[in-house]
Structure 1
């Protein structure tokens, strides 16, 4: 199957909101956010002033959105440079193992390389996700051992 990888556009908000629900279910969530709320948050995140994130979308031959790579920039990174931080990489299960994820990773590297001052691409995956870890290792990416991730929920979310 042929797919197109392209930046998200404002007209994609509905499809991205639908895909986010699919991603939530993939990760085992049983409490799904109301659709209208999710749609508003997608629009604010990708197209607010200023946008909080960017996304590359995977569009199939029928025009359906079947994958995404959501990312933003972090500063500082190495010295005073910044990094492209990949928050979510997702390809619909029926299209996995066809090189689409690898294409998304290559596109992200090209975006980082084209941005002055961007010194690297960074991301995390769960230690108990052997499929994701294998995917990244197969692409030649080494695991970085040394960071511990902390998280606290906002009282306003």
Structure 2
């Protein structure tokens, strides 16, 4: 299958909101915890196209014009010294299109974006320890795991 990888556009918001629900279900989010579609759509718009945008995304578009994957990322500062990094928050390809090289294409595009940006010295991301498919995928691309970092997380929701 031929796909196009391109930056997200405002007219992608509705499809991205649907894809994010698919991603939530992939990670095991219960139906009761899935955010209402209108809220999710508004948050996608704010995150990608607000002033200032909180993130950027590359989308994978299939031959029919459907969004079937994404790479959501942000530039973070500082990284090493006073440089910055491209931080990949989410890499997702619909299950029916996995193992066709699309994830590798996304990673290559991200590396090109990071390389082209002056002052960007690294590309970083995380995956869950239990996500053996993702870990195998990254190793197949020649990336090594960094066991030096410990991730902390705290929710800010009052509900």
TM-score class, shorter-chain normalisation, is over 0.9
Indicate yes or no: 2:81 matched with 1:55: no
> 1:156 Cα deviation (Å)?
5.8
Q: 2:156 is paired with a residue of what secondary structure? A: coil
Cα deviation digits, residues 3-52 of structure 1 (max 9, x gap): 00000000100000000000000000011000000000000000000000
Counterparts of 1:66-105 in structure 2, within 5 Å, are: 66-105=68-107
d(CA) in 2 for partners of 1:42, 1:82: 24
> 1:155 Cα deviation (Å)?
3.7
**Equivalent position of 2:40 in the other structure:** 38
Indicate yes or no: 2:145 matched with 1:152: no
Q: Return closer, same or farther for 1:40/1:150 CA change in 2, 3 Å cut-off.
A: same
Indicate yes or no: 2:29 matched with 1:29: yes
Show structure 2 runs of 5+ residues with no match.
none
Counterparts of 1:132-147 in structure 2, within 5 Å, are: 132-147=134-149
The two structures have a TM-score, normalised by structure 1, of: 0.98
d(CA) in 1 for partners of 2:42, 2:16: 11
d(CA) in 2 for partners of 1:154, 1:118: 29
Q: Which runs of structure 1 show a deviation greater than 2 angstroms over 4 or more consecutive aligned residues?
A: none
How many residues in Structure 1 have an aligned counterpart in Structure 2? 157
Q: 1:151 is paired with a residue of what secondary structure? A: coil
The two structures have a TM-score, normalised by structure 2, of: 0.97
Show structure 1 runs of 5+ residues with no match.
none
Query: Which of the residues 122, 125, 139 maps onto 2:124?
Result: 122
